[in-house]
Chain A
Amino acid sequence: MSVKHSLLALLERGPAYGYQLRAAFESATGNTWPLNIGQVYTTLNRLERDQLVEALPENDSGQRPYRITESGRRQLAGWFASPVQAADRPRDELTIKLALAVTTPGVNVADVIQRQRTATLRLLQEYTRLKAAEDNAELAWRLVLESMIFRAEAEVRWLDHTEAVVARTGLPAPRAYDPEPGPADRPEPEILRENR
Protein backbone atom coordinates (compact mmCIF):
# COMPACT_ATOMS: atom_id res chain seq x y z
CA MET A 1 0.00 0.00 0.00
CA SER A 2 1.38 3.40 -0.91
CA VAL A 3 1.11 5.70 2.11
CA LYS A 4 2.84 8.35 0.07
CA HIS A 5 0.24 8.46 -2.68
CA SER A 6 -2.62 8.09 -0.22
CA LEU A 7 -1.47 11.22 1.62
CA LEU A 8 -1.05 13.11 -1.65
CA ALA A 9 -4.61 12.14 -2.59
CA LEU A 10 -5.95 13.34 0.75
CA LEU A 11 -4.04 16.63 0.47
CA GLU A 12 -5.62 17.19 -2.93
CA ARG A 13 -8.84 17.94 -0.99
CA GLY A 14 -7.05 20.83 0.75
CA PRO A 15 -4.25 21.50 3.26
CA ALA A 16 -4.30 19.33 6.38
CA TYR A 17 -2.05 18.30 9.25
CA GLY A 18 -0.99 14.84 10.33
CA TYR A 19 -3.88 13.90 12.61
CA GLN A 20 -6.45 15.09 10.08
CA LEU A 21 -4.80 13.04 7.35
CA ARG A 22 -4.77 9.93 9.47
CA ALA A 23 -8.42 10.38 10.42
CA ALA A 24 -9.41 10.97 6.78
CA PHE A 25 -7.51 7.88 5.64
CA GLU A 26 -9.10 5.69 8.25
CA SER A 27 -12.58 6.99 7.60
CA ALA A 28 -12.22 6.27 3.88
CA THR A 29 -10.99 2.73 4.45
CA GLY A 30 -13.08 1.90 7.52
CA ASN A 31 -10.04 1.37 9.76
CA THR A 32 -9.07 -1.62 7.66
CA TRP A 33 -5.45 -0.54 7.46
CA PRO A 34 -4.66 1.41 10.61
CA LEU A 35 -2.04 4.03 9.97
CA ASN A 36 0.17 5.10 12.84
CA ILE A 37 0.79 8.77 13.28
CA GLY A 38 4.57 8.32 13.21
CA GLN A 39 4.25 6.78 9.77
CA VAL A 40 2.18 9.76 8.63
CA TYR A 41 4.78 12.30 9.80
CA THR A 42 7.75 10.34 8.42
CA THR A 43 6.01 10.18 5.07
CA LEU A 44 5.12 13.89 5.16
CA ASN A 45 8.78 14.71 5.86
CA ARG A 46 9.85 12.63 2.91
CA LEU A 47 7.23 14.24 0.68
CA GLU A 48 8.42 17.66 1.78
CA ARG A 49 12.03 16.73 1.09
CA ASP A 50 11.01 15.65 -2.43
CA GLN A 51 9.03 18.90 -2.83
CA LEU A 52 5.77 17.06 -3.41
CA VAL A 53 4.19 18.88 -0.45
CA GLU A 54 5.08 22.07 1.40
CA ALA A 55 4.66 22.89 5.07
CA LEU A 56 2.52 25.88 5.94
CA PRO A 57 3.04 28.07 9.01
CA GLU A 58 1.90 26.55 12.30
CA ASN A 59 -1.64 27.40 13.32
CA ASP A 60 -2.62 28.73 16.77
CA SER A 61 -2.83 25.29 18.29
CA GLY A 62 0.66 24.44 17.09
CA GLN A 63 -0.41 22.18 14.21
CA ARG A 64 1.56 22.41 11.00
CA PRO A 65 -0.64 21.85 7.93
CA TYR A 66 0.80 20.65 4.64
CA ARG A 67 -0.21 21.60 1.12
CA ILE A 68 0.27 19.59 -2.06
CA THR A 69 2.59 21.20 -4.64
CA GLU A 70 2.33 21.21 -8.43
CA SER A 71 4.87 18.45 -8.67
CA GLY A 72 2.93 16.55 -6.00
CA ARG A 73 -0.18 16.84 -8.19
CA ARG A 74 1.69 15.45 -11.17
CA GLN A 75 2.93 12.55 -9.04
CA LEU A 76 -0.64 11.87 -7.87
CA ALA A 77 -2.05 12.03 -11.41
CA GLY A 78 0.63 9.53 -12.45
CA TRP A 79 -0.42 7.18 -9.65
CA PHE A 80 -4.08 7.22 -10.66
CA ALA A 81 -3.09 6.80 -14.31
CA SER A 82 -1.08 3.63 -13.80
CA PRO A 83 -2.45 0.19 -12.94
CA VAL A 84 -1.28 -1.60 -9.81
CA GLN A 85 1.52 -3.93 -10.85
CA ALA A 86 1.64 -7.57 -9.83
CA ALA A 87 4.93 -6.85 -8.08
CA ASP A 88 3.20 -4.29 -5.85
CA ARG A 89 0.94 -6.94 -4.38
CA PRO A 90 2.16 -8.96 -1.46
CA ARG A 91 2.90 -12.65 -1.98
CA ASP A 92 -0.08 -14.76 -1.21
CA GLU A 93 0.56 -17.06 1.71
CA LEU A 94 -2.34 -19.38 0.92
CA THR A 95 -1.19 -19.96 -2.66
CA ILE A 96 2.28 -20.83 -1.45
CA LYS A 97 0.91 -23.07 1.26
CA LEU A 98 -1.24 -25.07 -1.16
CA ALA A 99 1.50 -25.30 -3.77
CA LEU A 100 3.68 -26.85 -1.07
CA ALA A 101 0.83 -28.96 0.32
CA VAL A 102 0.36 -30.79 -3.00
CA THR A 103 4.05 -31.57 -3.24
CA THR A 104 4.79 -32.45 0.39
CA PRO A 105 4.43 -36.13 1.26
CA GLY A 106 1.94 -36.95 4.02
CA VAL A 107 -0.11 -33.75 3.84
CA ASN A 108 -3.89 -34.20 3.66
CA VAL A 109 -4.60 -31.62 0.96
CA ALA A 110 -8.38 -32.03 1.20
CA ASP A 111 -8.22 -31.13 4.90
CA VAL A 112 -6.04 -28.10 4.25
CA ILE A 113 -8.53 -26.91 1.63
CA GLN A 114 -11.57 -27.58 3.79
CA ARG A 115 -10.15 -25.82 6.82
CA GLN A 116 -9.25 -22.80 4.75
CA ARG A 117 -12.64 -22.73 3.07
CA THR A 118 -14.40 -22.75 6.42
CA ALA A 119 -12.22 -19.90 7.67
CA THR A 120 -12.62 -17.84 4.51
CA LEU A 121 -16.37 -18.36 4.45
CA ARG A 122 -16.59 -17.26 8.00
CA LEU A 123 -14.70 -14.11 7.10
CA LEU A 124 -17.11 -13.64 4.23
CA GLN A 125 -20.07 -13.96 6.59
CA GLU A 126 -18.51 -11.39 8.87
CA TYR A 127 -17.87 -8.90 6.07
CA THR A 128 -21.41 -9.44 4.81
CA ARG A 129 -22.80 -8.78 8.24
CA LEU A 130 -20.78 -5.57 8.49
CA LYS A 131 -22.10 -4.55 5.12
CA ALA A 132 -25.70 -5.35 6.09
CA ALA A 133 -25.29 -3.36 9.29
CA GLU A 134 -24.38 -0.21 7.36
CA ASP A 135 -27.02 0.34 4.76
CA ASN A 136 -25.92 3.89 4.07
CA ALA A 137 -22.19 3.44 4.42
CA GLU A 138 -19.83 5.96 2.91
CA LEU A 139 -19.03 4.99 -0.66
CA ALA A 140 -15.29 4.65 -0.03
CA TRP A 141 -15.82 2.33 2.93
CA ARG A 142 -18.45 0.30 1.13
CA LEU A 143 -16.05 -0.18 -1.74
CA VAL A 144 -13.29 -1.41 0.59
CA LEU A 145 -15.72 -3.84 2.22
CA GLU A 146 -16.97 -5.15 -1.10
CA SER A 147 -13.42 -5.59 -2.32
CA MET A 148 -12.78 -7.85 0.67
CA ILE A 149 -16.03 -9.72 0.00
CA PHE A 150 -15.20 -10.36 -3.65
CA ARG A 151 -11.66 -11.39 -2.77
CA ALA A 152 -12.89 -13.87 -0.19
CA GLU A 153 -15.40 -15.20 -2.71
CA ALA A 154 -12.65 -15.63 -5.31
CA GLU A 155 -10.57 -17.49 -2.76
CA VAL A 156 -13.44 -19.90 -2.01
CA ARG A 157 -13.98 -20.49 -5.72
CA TRP A 158 -10.31 -21.14 -6.23
CA LEU A 159 -10.34 -23.59 -3.30
CA ASP A 160 -13.37 -25.39 -4.80
CA HIS A 161 -11.59 -25.55 -8.11
CA THR A 162 -8.35 -26.81 -6.58
CA GLU A 163 -10.26 -29.46 -4.66
CA ALA A 164 -11.93 -30.66 -7.85
CA VAL A 165 -8.67 -30.71 -9.79
CA VAL A 166 -6.88 -32.65 -7.05
CA ALA A 167 -9.79 -35.10 -6.81
CA ARG A 168 -9.76 -35.64 -10.56
CA THR A 169 -6.06 -35.84 -11.29
CA GLY A 170 -4.69 -37.04 -7.96
CA LEU A 171 -1.53 -35.72 -6.38
CA PRO A 172 1.86 -35.96 -8.06
CA ALA A 173 4.10 -38.70 -6.66
CA PRO A 174 6.52 -37.19 -4.14
CA ARG A 175 9.74 -36.39 -5.95
CA ALA A 176 13.13 -36.71 -4.38
CA TYR A 177 15.69 -34.02 -5.05
CA ASP A 178 17.88 -34.40 -8.12
CA PRO A 179 21.15 -35.96 -7.16
CA GLU A 180 23.67 -33.17 -7.00
CA PRO A 181 27.16 -33.39 -5.63
CA GLY A 182 26.80 -33.06 -1.86
CA PRO A 183 29.46 -31.48 0.34
CA ALA A 184 31.24 -34.83 0.71
CA ASP A 185 31.69 -35.25 -3.07
CA ARG A 186 32.77 -31.74 -3.66
CA PRO A 187 36.30 -30.50 -3.26
CA GLU A 188 36.46 -28.57 -0.04
CA PRO A 189 37.04 -24.86 -0.56
CA GLU A 190 40.62 -23.92 0.28
CA ILE A 191 39.68 -21.45 2.93
CA LEU A 192 38.04 -24.19 5.06
CA ARG A 193 41.09 -26.42 4.78
CA GLU A 194 43.40 -23.68 5.91
CA ASN A 195 41.32 -22.92 8.97
CA ARG A 196 41.32 -26.44 10.22
Chain B
Amino acid sequence: MTVLQLKGVNRVHGTGGNAVRALIDTDLQVAAGEMVAIMGPSGSGKSTLLNLAGGLDTPTSGEVLVEGTVLATLNKKRLAALRRRSVGYVFQDYNLIPSLTAAENAALPLELDGMSAGRARTLALAALEEVGLDAKQGDRFPDELSGGQSQRVAIARALIGERRLVLADEPTGALDSATGEEVLKLLRRRCDAGAAGLLVTHDARHAGWADRVVFLRDGRVVDSSAPLGDVETLLEGAGS
Protein backbone atom coordinates (compact mmCIF):
# COMPACT_ATOMS: atom_id res chain seq x y z
CA MET B 1 0.00 0.00 0.00
CA THR B 2 1.33 3.41 -1.01
CA VAL B 3 1.72 5.72 1.97
CA LEU B 4 3.44 8.62 0.26
CA GLN B 5 3.05 9.65 -3.34
CA LEU B 6 4.46 12.61 -5.26
CA LYS B 7 2.92 13.17 -8.70
CA GLY B 8 4.66 15.54 -11.12
CA VAL B 9 5.73 17.80 -8.29
CA ASN B 10 7.42 21.13 -9.02
CA ARG B 11 8.57 23.65 -6.47
CA VAL B 12 9.72 27.04 -7.67
CA HIS B 13 11.05 29.65 -5.27
CA GLY B 14 10.73 33.29 -6.39
CA THR B 15 9.30 34.54 -9.68
CA GLY B 16 10.38 35.80 -13.09
CA GLY B 17 14.09 36.11 -13.63
CA ASN B 18 14.84 35.21 -10.02
CA ALA B 19 12.86 31.97 -10.08
CA VAL B 20 14.77 28.98 -8.73
CA ARG B 21 13.38 25.57 -9.58
CA ALA B 22 14.11 23.61 -6.43
CA LEU B 23 12.28 20.49 -7.54
CA ILE B 24 11.33 19.56 -11.11
CA ASP B 25 8.70 17.06 -12.32
CA THR B 26 9.27 14.69 -9.45
CA ASP B 27 7.40 11.41 -9.11
CA LEU B 28 7.96 9.21 -6.09
CA GLN B 29 6.11 6.51 -4.22
CA VAL B 30 6.89 5.04 -0.85
CA ALA B 31 4.94 1.98 0.23
CA ALA B 32 4.24 0.70 3.72
CA GLY B 33 7.20 -1.38 4.85
CA GLU B 34 9.55 0.40 2.49
CA MET B 35 12.48 2.64 3.23
CA VAL B 36 13.66 5.00 0.51
CA ALA B 37 16.84 7.04 0.75
CA ILE B 38 17.30 10.36 -1.03
CA MET B 39 20.84 11.31 -1.94
CA GLY B 40 22.32 14.19 -3.83
CA PRO B 41 24.72 17.10 -3.55
CA SER B 42 23.90 20.20 -1.49
CA GLY B 43 21.17 22.24 -3.12
CA SER B 44 19.90 19.32 -5.20
CA GLY B 45 16.41 19.54 -3.68
CA LYS B 46 16.58 16.84 -0.98
CA SER B 47 15.20 18.94 1.85
CA THR B 48 12.63 20.55 -0.42
CA LEU B 49 11.37 17.08 -1.27
CA LEU B 50 11.19 16.09 2.37
CA ASN B 51 9.36 19.29 3.37
CA LEU B 52 6.83 18.79 0.59
CA ALA B 53 6.30 15.16 1.60
CA GLY B 54 5.61 16.21 5.17
CA GLY B 55 3.22 19.02 4.28
CA LEU B 56 5.62 21.64 5.65
CA ASP B 57 5.81 23.20 2.18
CA THR B 58 3.39 23.35 -0.77
CA PRO B 59 4.24 22.40 -4.34
CA THR B 60 4.03 25.04 -7.08
CA SER B 61 2.39 22.37 -9.22
CA GLY B 62 1.72 18.65 -8.95
CA GLU B 63 0.29 16.70 -6.04
CA VAL B 64 1.50 15.23 -2.79
CA LEU B 65 -0.63 12.44 -1.33
CA VAL B 66 -0.27 10.98 2.16
CA GLU B 67 -2.26 7.79 2.65
CA GLY B 68 -4.36 8.71 -0.38
CA THR B 69 -5.20 12.27 0.70
CA VAL B 70 -4.06 15.12 -1.55
CA LEU B 71 -2.47 17.54 0.90
CA ALA B 72 -3.47 20.60 -1.15
CA THR B 73 -7.18 19.80 -0.62
CA LEU B 74 -6.88 20.16 3.16
CA ASN B 75 -7.44 23.37 5.04
CA LYS B 76 -4.86 24.53 7.56
CA LYS B 77 -6.49 22.82 10.50
CA ARG B 78 -6.92 19.49 8.75
CA LEU B 79 -3.41 19.59 7.36
CA ALA B 80 -2.07 20.15 10.87
CA ALA B 81 -4.12 17.19 12.09
CA LEU B 82 -2.80 14.99 9.30
CA ARG B 83 0.77 16.04 10.04
CA ARG B 84 0.17 15.20 13.69
CA ARG B 85 -1.51 11.87 13.08
CA SER B 86 0.09 10.46 9.95
CA VAL B 87 3.58 11.90 9.64
CA GLY B 88 6.57 11.70 11.94
CA TYR B 89 9.77 13.69 11.63
CA VAL B 90 13.27 12.84 12.73
CA PHE B 91 15.82 15.62 12.52
CA GLN B 92 19.57 15.77 12.75
CA ASP B 93 19.45 17.70 16.04
CA TYR B 94 16.63 15.56 17.55
CA ASN B 95 14.39 18.60 18.31
CA LEU B 96 13.33 17.27 21.70
CA ILE B 97 11.74 19.73 24.10
CA PRO B 98 14.28 20.22 26.90
CA SER B 99 11.74 20.80 29.69
CA LEU B 100 9.88 17.54 29.00
CA THR B 101 11.08 14.04 29.87
CA ALA B 102 11.76 11.47 27.15
CA ALA B 103 8.34 9.88 27.73
CA GLU B 104 6.60 13.29 27.69
CA ASN B 105 8.38 14.16 24.44
CA ALA B 106 7.25 10.90 22.87
CA ALA B 107 3.69 11.41 24.17
CA LEU B 108 3.44 14.98 22.92
CA PRO B 109 1.79 14.33 19.53
CA LEU B 110 -0.91 12.24 21.24
CA GLU B 111 -1.58 14.84 23.92
CA LEU B 112 -1.76 17.58 21.30
CA ASP B 113 -4.34 15.42 19.65
CA GLY B 114 -6.46 15.45 22.81
CA MET B 115 -5.56 12.11 24.37
CA SER B 116 -5.52 11.91 28.17
CA ALA B 117 -2.08 12.25 29.76
CA GLY B 118 -2.26 8.81 31.38
CA ARG B 119 -3.17 6.98 28.20
CA ALA B 120 -0.58 8.95 26.22
CA ARG B 121 2.10 8.04 28.76
CA THR B 122 1.27 4.34 28.51
CA LEU B 123 1.59 4.47 24.73
CA ALA B 124 4.76 6.56 24.97
CA LEU B 125 6.42 4.03 27.26
CA ALA B 126 5.48 1.26 24.85
CA ALA B 127 6.90 3.27 21.94
CA LEU B 128 10.11 3.89 23.89
CA GLU B 129 10.39 0.21 24.64
CA GLU B 130 10.19 -0.52 20.92
CA VAL B 131 13.26 1.63 20.38
CA GLY B 132 15.11 -0.02 23.27
CA LEU B 133 14.55 2.48 26.11
CA ASP B 134 13.07 1.44 29.46
CA ALA B 135 10.71 3.37 31.79
CA LYS B 136 13.62 4.69 33.85
CA GLN B 137 15.22 6.19 30.77
CA GLY B 138 11.77 7.48 29.80
CA ASP B 139 11.73 9.69 32.89
CA ARG B 140 15.01 11.37 32.02
CA PHE B 141 15.27 14.80 30.47
CA PRO B 142 16.93 15.26 27.08
CA ASP B 143 20.12 16.69 28.60
CA GLU B 144 20.48 13.49 30.63
CA LEU B 145 20.41 11.34 27.49
CA SER B 146 23.21 10.54 25.07
CA GLY B 147 22.90 11.55 21.42
CA GLY B 148 21.97 8.03 20.40
CA GLN B 149 19.30 7.80 23.12
CA SER B 150 17.90 11.22 22.16
CA GLN B 151 17.53 10.12 18.56
CA ARG B 152 15.76 6.97 19.76
CA VAL B 153 13.28 9.16 21.62
CA ALA B 154 12.80 11.23 18.46
CA ILE B 155 12.09 8.05 16.46
CA ALA B 156 9.64 6.85 19.11
CA ARG B 157 7.90 10.24 18.92
CA ALA B 158 7.88 10.11 15.12
CA LEU B 159 6.13 6.76 15.04
CA ILE B 160 3.85 6.90 18.04
CA GLY B 161 0.15 6.20 17.55
CA GLU B 162 -1.13 5.33 14.12
CA ARG B 163 1.55 7.17 12.22
CA ARG B 164 3.07 5.26 9.39
CA LEU B 165 5.17 7.78 7.52
CA VAL B 166 8.49 8.76 8.99
CA LEU B 167 10.57 11.47 7.36
CA ALA B 168 14.17 11.60 8.48
CA ASP B 169 16.57 14.39 7.60
CA GLU B 170 20.19 13.34 8.20
CA PRO B 171 19.13 11.54 11.40
CA THR B 172 22.65 10.38 12.20
CA GLY B 173 24.31 13.75 11.67
CA ALA B 174 26.00 14.29 15.01
CA LEU B 175 26.39 10.65 16.06
CA ASP B 176 29.51 8.51 15.88
CA SER B 177 29.55 5.75 13.28
CA ALA B 178 28.47 2.86 15.52
CA THR B 179 25.66 4.85 17.21
CA GLY B 180 24.55 6.20 13.83
CA GLU B 181 24.29 2.68 12.59
CA GLU B 182 22.10 1.72 15.57
CA VAL B 183 19.72 4.56 14.66
CA LEU B 184 19.56 3.38 11.05
CA LYS B 185 18.96 -0.19 12.16
CA LEU B 186 16.11 1.02 14.30
CA LEU B 187 14.53 2.99 11.46
CA ARG B 188 14.95 -0.07 9.27
CA ARG B 189 13.19 -2.21 11.87
CA ARG B 190 10.31 0.26 12.17
CA CYS B 191 9.93 0.14 8.39
CA ASP B 192 10.06 -3.66 8.40
CA ALA B 193 7.24 -3.48 10.95
CA GLY B 194 5.08 -1.59 8.44
CA ALA B 195 6.10 2.08 8.47
CA ALA B 196 7.04 3.92 5.28
CA GLY B 197 10.35 5.72 5.60
CA LEU B 198 11.90 8.54 3.61
CA LEU B 199 15.47 9.25 4.57
CA VAL B 200 17.60 12.15 3.37
CA THR B 201 21.27 11.42 3.78
CA HIS B 202 24.61 12.28 2.24
CA ASP B 203 26.11 9.14 3.70
CA ALA B 204 26.19 6.19 1.32
CA ARG B 205 26.67 3.73 4.16
CA HIS B 206 23.38 4.86 5.66
CA ALA B 207 21.60 4.83 2.32
CA GLY B 208 22.68 1.20 2.20
CA TRP B 209 19.94 0.41 4.72
CA ALA B 210 17.24 1.55 2.30
CA ASP B 211 15.30 -0.59 -0.15
CA ARG B 212 15.72 2.02 -2.86
CA VAL B 213 18.05 4.95 -3.31
CA VAL B 214 16.91 7.96 -5.30
CA PHE B 215 19.48 10.46 -6.57
CA LEU B 216 18.62 14.11 -7.01
CA ARG B 217 20.64 16.58 -8.97
CA ASP B 218 19.60 20.18 -9.69
CA GLY B 219 16.07 19.41 -8.57
CA ARG B 220 15.60 16.37 -10.76
CA VAL B 221 15.58 12.67 -10.01
CA VAL B 222 18.51 11.47 -12.10
CA ASP B 223 18.52 7.86 -11.08
CA SER B 224 16.98 5.39 -8.77
CA SER B 225 18.42 2.07 -7.72
CA ALA B 226 16.21 -0.92 -8.40
CA PRO B 227 14.80 -2.94 -5.51
CA LEU B 228 17.12 -5.61 -4.18
CA GLY B 229 17.37 -9.19 -5.33
CA ASP B 230 17.75 -12.43 -3.49
CA VAL B 231 20.27 -12.52 -0.64
CA GLU B 232 21.70 -15.84 -1.82
CA THR B 233 23.09 -14.41 -5.06
CA LEU B 234 24.58 -11.31 -3.51
CA LEU B 235 28.18 -12.27 -2.99
CA GLU B 236 28.84 -13.62 -6.43
CA GLY B 237 31.64 -11.65 -7.95
CA ALA B 238 32.11 -9.52 -4.84
CA GLY B 239 35.69 -10.58 -4.20
CA SER B 240 38.81 -9.48 -5.98
Contacts and interface: CB of A to CB of B under 8 A. Distances in A.
The answer to whether A and B interact is: yes
Interface of A: 30-34, 90, 114, 117-118, 120-130, 132-133, 148-150, 152-153, 156-157, 160, 163-164
Contact of B222 (A114, A122, A149): A114
A122 B225 CA distance: 6
Given A117-B215, A124-B208, A149-B208, 12 more contacts: A32-B238, A120-B204, A123-B238, A124-B204, A125-B209, A126-B229, A128-B209, A129-B228, A132-B188, A133-B231, A148-B238, A150-B205
A138 to B, nearest CB: 15
A64 to B, nearest CB: 28
A129 B231 contact: yes
A118 B40 CA distance: 12
Nearest to A115: B223
B112 interface: no
Nearest to B234: A126
Nearest to A30: B235
Contacts of B188: 132
B223 A157 contact: no
A167 to B, nearest CB: 9
A118 B225 contact: yes
B204 A121 contact: yes
A137 to B, nearest CB: 13
- Most chain-B Cβ atoms within 10 A of its Cβ — which of A30, A34, A156? A156
A148 B240 CA distance: 11
Interface in B173-216: 185, 188, 203-205, 207-211, 213, 215
Given A33-B239, A114-B223, A125 B210 contact: yes
The 6 tightest CB contacts between A and B, nearest first, are A128-B208, A156-B204, A124-B208, A153-B205, A33-B239, A126-B234
Contacts of B223: 114, 117-118
Given A118-B225, A160-B41, A132 B185 contact: yes
A114 B215 contact: yes
A141 to B, nearest CB: 11
B231 A121 contact: no
A168 to B, nearest CB: 11
A129 B234 contact: yes
B211 to A, nearest CB: 8
Nearest to A159: B204
B41 A121 contact: no
Contacts of A127: 208, 234, 238
B208 A90 contact: no
Contact of A125 (B185, B213, B235): B213
A153 B226 contact: no
Contact of B235 (A31, A132, A149, A153): A31
25 contacts: A31-B235, A32-B235, A32-B238, A32-B239, A114-B223, A118-B225, A120-B204, A122-B213, A122-B225, A123-B238, A124-B205, A125-B209, A125-B210, A126-B229, A127-B208, A127-B234, A127-B238, A128-B208, A129-B234, A132-B188, A133-B231, A152-B208, A153-B205, A157-B204, A164-B41
